[in-house]
Chains A and B, each alone.
Chain A
Amino acid sequence: MSVKIGEAPYKERITKGIENDFMREAVSSAQGRFRAGRLTRAEELGNWEDWRQLGEEIRTHTLENIDFYLQQLSDAVSEKGGNVYFAETAEDANHYIQNVVKKKNAKKVVKAKSMVTEEIGLNDAIKDLGVEVVESDLGEWILQLDEEAPSHIVTPALHKNKKQIRETFTKKRGYDQSDDPEELAAFARKELRKDFLAADVGITGCNFAIAESGAITLVTNEGNAEMVTTLPDTVVTVMGMERIVPTWEEMEVLVSLLTRSAVGQKLTSYITAYGGARLEDEIDGPDDYHLVIVDNGRSKILGTEFQAALHCIRCASCINVCPVYRHVGGHAYNSIYPGPIGAVITPLLDGYDDHQELPYASTLCGACTEACPVKIPLHEMLIRHRQILVERENKAPMSEKILMNGFAKWSSSPAAYKISTKLARPALTPWIKDKDRIENGPGPLKGWTDVRDFPAPSKKSFRAWFKERESDSHEHSK
């Protein structure tokens, strides 16, 4: 897998999403829970807006000094006996990790949840070596059994309900119990335990790397990251280069914003901190530790008008409030990063060619921007993408260009505008029904009137009314 998850065209994906009643029900109810949880947890702090402000300041400062902090992180990890590798591309990262796995003669790799490894397609690269790779996050494990892509960045199997999960377990692992979530989870736990114990290499992502100490922190509710980082002899962290904070102090702020925004929890059940290899005088830690810092297009975003998109702490609160996401689901975005943040960063990481519809998959309602705990102006960035698609990428349809050119002429000419206020009704008369509505509109109105009525233009415009009223009152005062 990579950023892009499939080949189906946009319209087809949208229709498939809309027609999937199971998925929509699951997504809608999850959104409701997440939204309520986030609001409760935000209110509890009493000054949520101050927290957001602080979150934004921390991210801005860190990104503006990212070269310094990455160097600091790298030095700290090296000091703790770890190997640090800066991977410019997905291929570089995969190649490096493949070598780690090969050197170890590994038969089995166990992973904790990581979006960046999805982004670079690491699982396929490991499988290419003939090595088994097992996802240990429950949601990711379900998807791995089903050979499906995640549809959400925090809860990857959000689109599935318990009945579907039971079916998957039965079909793929001979499960014979009920669809009770506790039974399902207990089964997964038992199965995964074998993998944890047998794994030669553990791989995790990274929520926040602490530059000052070289620690990697992870938030989970399952404790699987603890297993992945403590049982195998060889441990690898893969992190997007922007997942970094200066010190524990900033981490504390961001982790509060993250867990409250993501799942409406004060903190997750587990916050794992690890890093480095076992040094001579230490009693625990892996023999071999590697930190792979992935660029894969991120440094190209630095210094541009989209830099703030790198502030993202992957909480998914924008996804959880997005009405478009609710109706089409994550897979419709055809990116491992769905929802509003996905629509912003997917074209940045993977180009416009395969993702040109994404910036338009938003009503610009701004719910995402309002929810973002680090204040990324998501809907404004979507507009900026549209401008680039029109001006630089030349991807706008000709009909739209003509229409917008006409709009500019019309709206910059009071005379032309005034005439249109008189002609609108006569021009639409053939389609007007019951004097006040249009049920089957022509041309661009068709998409509208396919599902809803369009109003008929007034017989007399407001400006005409106002003018008459003014002259009446003049008459009156004479």
Chain B
Amino acid sequence: MKVSLFITCLSDMFFTDVGKNTVEILERAGCEVDFPASQTCCGQPAFNSGYLKEAKQSMKQMMRSFRDSEYVVGPSGSCVGMLKEYPKIFAGDSEWEEAAKDLADKSYEITQFLVDVLGITDVGSTFKGRVTYHPSCHMTRILGVKDQPRTLLQHVKGVELIELPVAEDCCGFGGTFAVKNADISREMVKEKSRHVSETGADYLVGGDMGCLMNIGGRMRREGKQVEVVHITEILNTH
């Protein structure tokens, strides 16, 4: 099966291991992975800030980049969720409507792809540690991916999964919200960090580096020892 990796700009520049792990997991699952190098950003920072015209420019670039792909798989519920919104955004635009629908239809978040498309629930990895999982908002509420990450984590040998209190609560990232409403964002991430500590877990796992960078950045500032890892790291440890 041919899969095009949608790396997301954040992981491309800041969290390259997420991309490496994603590629290796997909290859181990028997996929042939390519990387369309003309891909950039999904457009979410502009779209969510109200800059539709500007967002559409990056969205068009993404549609051009993945035009020939069979499947598009990315390590972020939020960014893949953005791709899924393209058909709504380009509805009525005769030039782009089809491409928007095409890209949305063939795009998957990595855990969603593994479980729903490849039918894999056990990737055969081993990871020793007490782990708690933060289900990011866009992954669960926009993309509708709720169970897949848990299913995969539950099958990893050595993982002790501990429930995060009020897990569904937003961490306070919200893209530009974190800067525009820094005070509110701070209170939200403090609360999330407290909930993570309450679990006593050694690792905080998530499927979106945006949220993890926020929670991790705060916990580090608080001097907490909890390690923050993207789910692909756990799924690619042997």
Contacts and interface: CB of A to CB of B under 8 A. Distances in A.
A323 B172 CA distance: 8
B41 A411 contact: yes
Contact of A365 (B39, B65, B170): B170
Interface size class of B (residues with CB under 8 A): 35 or more
Contact of B187 (A327, A389, A390, A462): A327
A55 B4 CA distance: 41
Given A421-B12, A463-B7, 10 more contacts: A324-B188, A367-B168, A387-B52, A391-B52, A410-B40, A412-B60, A437-B217, A439-B221, A447-B182, A462-B19
Given A365-B170, A411-B41, A463-B35, A451 B218 contact: yes
B141 A369 contact: yes
B46 interface: yes
Contacts of A414: 37-40, 61, 65
A345 interface: no
A466 B23 contact: yes
B35 A367 contact: no
Interface string B107-127: 000000000000000000000
A405 interface: yes
Given A363-B172, A466-B23, A451 B52 contact: no
B70 to A, nearest CB: 18
A14 B51 contact: no
Contacts, number: 198
Interface of B: 5, 7, 9, 11-16, 18-20, 23, 35, 37-41, 43, 45-55, 57-58, 60-61, 65, 137-138, 141-142, 168-170, 172-175, 177-189, 191, 213-214, 216-218, 220-221
Interface string A452-478: 111111101111011100000000000
A462 B12 contact: yes
A361 B50 contact: no
Given A362-B177, A363-B177, A452-B217, A465 B184 contact: no
Interface in A429-462: 437, 439, 444, 447-448, 450-458, 460-462
Interface residues of A, number: 65
A198 interface: no
Contacts of A450: 182, 186
A27 to B, nearest CB: 12
A400 interface: yes
A452 B137 contact: no
A407 B183 contact: no
B19 A361 contact: no
B49 A404 contact: yes
A147 B209 CA distance: 46
B214 to A, nearest CB: 7
Contacts of B177: 360, 362-364
Interface in A352-371: 359-367, 369-370
A411 B214 contact: no
Interface of A is mostly: helix
B15 A404 contact: no
A330 B16 CA distance: 41
Nearest to B219: A452
A323 B13 contact: no
Contacts of B169: 323, 367
Ranked 3 nearest A-B pairs via Cβ? A363-B174, A386-B50, A411-B58
Contacts of B142: 366
Given A386-B50, A424-B13, A366 B189 contact: no
Contact of A14 (B55, B183, B220): B183
Nearest to A449: B217
Contacts of A421: 12-13
B16 A460 contact: yes
Contact of A462 (B11, B185, B217): B11
B170 to A, nearest CB: 4
Nearest to B220: A453
Contacts of A186: none
A328 B12 contact: no
A35 B205 CA distance: 25
A328 B181 CA distance: 11
Interface in A268-285: none
Contacts of A11: 183
A15 B181 CA distance: 11
B184 A18 contact: yes
A366 B138 contact: yes
A452 B54 contact: no
6 contacts: A15-B183, A404-B49, A448-B179, A452-B220, A457-B14, A461-B13
